Copies of this chain bind each other. A is one copy, B any other.
């Protein structure tokens, strides 16, 4: 994985008002009249290429990020400095909450493909409640969602290897569908090794399970691309 700095980022000119991400992103549920105000808060828009870091763990909190397009993975580190993949973020999702506790990032974020990123400077967060109340409520909702997602991950990781893997695939499928992409064919972005890391399984177990699903005709694999051939059967595994 390349460790190039963020200085490569290029600035773009786009407004939230006519951004195609629309309801998925921060503006979701915002008063329409507040959207121009949101544009005043979002200061930079940048591009990140595969393998580049959005931020590294240990860095000071500078801004929240909204993914305008693309996908990233979040990596946290344990006391022995082992990497732990915390999850994947897709278009419209907000990144950076790992720094809310003490203004230091506890995770690193790496682009899995070319990403367009919007930034909400940290200092904008103070007083935002008063300036744009609907945006404040919206941010709190995103944060609450992050909390619920983490807890769901804990619960899911108690189930069998196959259940966990299929839950991951279905979760991605739903999230792609919500973004207007096919729920039946998409990229899982992660290597078997990374997926095992995320699901607390070994590379070999992930590989075997995926091949088995492929052999049964439930999914079709070609590297990181997956085609879901029999959604009911796939769902049945998690019932």
Within residues 120 to 160 of chain A, which ones have a CB less than 8 A from any CB in chain B? Answer: 125-130, 133, 136-137, 140-141, 143-148, 150-151, 153-155, 157-158
The residues of B that contact A133 with a CB separation of less than 8 Å are 126-127
Q: Is A229 an interface residue (CB 8 A)?
A: no
A31 to chain B, nearest CB (A): 14
Contact A97 B147 (CB under 8 A): yes
Give the residue name and chain of the B residue nearest to A150 (CB): B150
Contact B100 A155 (CB under 8 A): no
A146 to B149, CA, bound (A): 12
Instruction: Tell whether A147 pairs with B150 under 8 Å between CB atoms, given A127-B133, A129-B129, A136-B129.
Output: yes
The residues of B that contact A129 with a CB separation of less than 8 Å are 126-130, 136
Most B Cβ at <10 Å: residue of A86, A125, A129: A129
| Secondary structure dominating the interface of A | helix
Total chain A interface residues with beta-carbon distance under 8 A: 37
Instruction: Tell whether A100 pairs with B144 under 8 Å between CB atoms, given A127-B133, A128-B129, A129-B129.
Output: yes
The residues of B that contact A155 with a CB separation of less than 8 Å are 76, 78, 84
Partner of A200, one of B127, B128, B157: B157
Instruction: Give the B-binding residues of A (Cβ under 8 A).
Output: 76, 78, 84, 86, 97-102, 106-107, 125-130, 133, 136-137, 140-141, 143-148, 150-151, 153-155, 157-158, 200
